[in-house]
Amino acid sequence: DQQVKQNSPSLSVQEGRISILNCDYTNSMFDYFLWYKKYPAEGPTFLISISSIKDKNEDGRFTVFLNKSAKHLSLHIVPSQPGDSAVYFCAARDNTDKLIFGTGTRLQVFP
Amino acid sequence: DAGVIQSPRHEVTEMGQEVTLRCKPISGHNSLFWYRQTMMRGLELLIYFNNNVPIDDSGMPEDRFSAKMPNASFSTLKIQPSEPRDSAVYFCATRTGGPGELFFGEGSRLTVL
């Protein structure tokens, strides 16, 4: 069973607009959440993270929001740029220190 | 720093053959993870090591898969015998101790015909 779910396989956004990527999880023991970005033929790279004791973390154009009661987190990118086009993976850390990843959302930012 | 180094980058083999994927972690990183990426399951954790010791191999699909970490600078993932459903991109990732982010290699794309 998938403990970390990204229900939107793809998202298309116009340049300059906001991109919102969503992630849901089932395990209430997850204590740390991360977003990774992956370009074709490359390994995923770390983007931003949030601890379960916070509800928001911001880094430049990227903001992650955590709603623990809903077991939901989201990544906001504003303004979106063509270079943001990639696959975005949500990940959660469990109590054995493993990172569990979602299935990914492919973001396309068009001019 | 050279980053996490994986080899081969691409492997095409026939069903039944043995496949060995290799990983050299970033120096000083004491945790190493093997993931498999497929369309259906995304990034699926296969096994992870801490200080060269396997901690959790519950993600290894079946006995055909095995992984070793004989020392702090090298790990292998072996599939014997390989099957077409093993076709995927296999990633190695490492980190220092604690909740720090994972650093991924560029992956090994395996195709089993």
**pLDDT tens-digit map of B67-78:** 999 999 999 999
Across all residues in chain B, what is the average pLDDT? 93
pLDDT of B98 > 70? The answer is no
Question: How far, in Å, are A15, A39, A85, B104 from residue A111 at the CA level?
Answer: 5, 19, 11, 30
Q: Which chain B residues have any C-beta within 8 angstroms of a chain A C-beta?
A: 4, 31, 33, 35, 39-45, 48, 50, 55-56, 91, 93, 99, 101-107
Under 8 Å CB-to-CB from A13, ≥6 apart: which residues? Answer: A19, A80, A107, A108, A109, A110
3-class DSSP state of B84: helix
Q: Are residues A101 and B105, on separate chains, in Cβ contact within 8 Å?
A: no
H helix intervals, B1-113? none
3-class DSSP state of B106: coil
What does the CA dihedral B104, A25, A63, B91 come to, rounded to 10 degrees? 10
Number of residue pairs across A and B with CB atoms under 8 Å? 55
At A27 the pLDDT is 92
Selection from A104, A98, A50 nearest residue B95 by Cα: A98
**pLDDT tens-digit map of A56-101:** 999 999 999 999 999 999 999 999 999 999 999 999 998 888 899 9
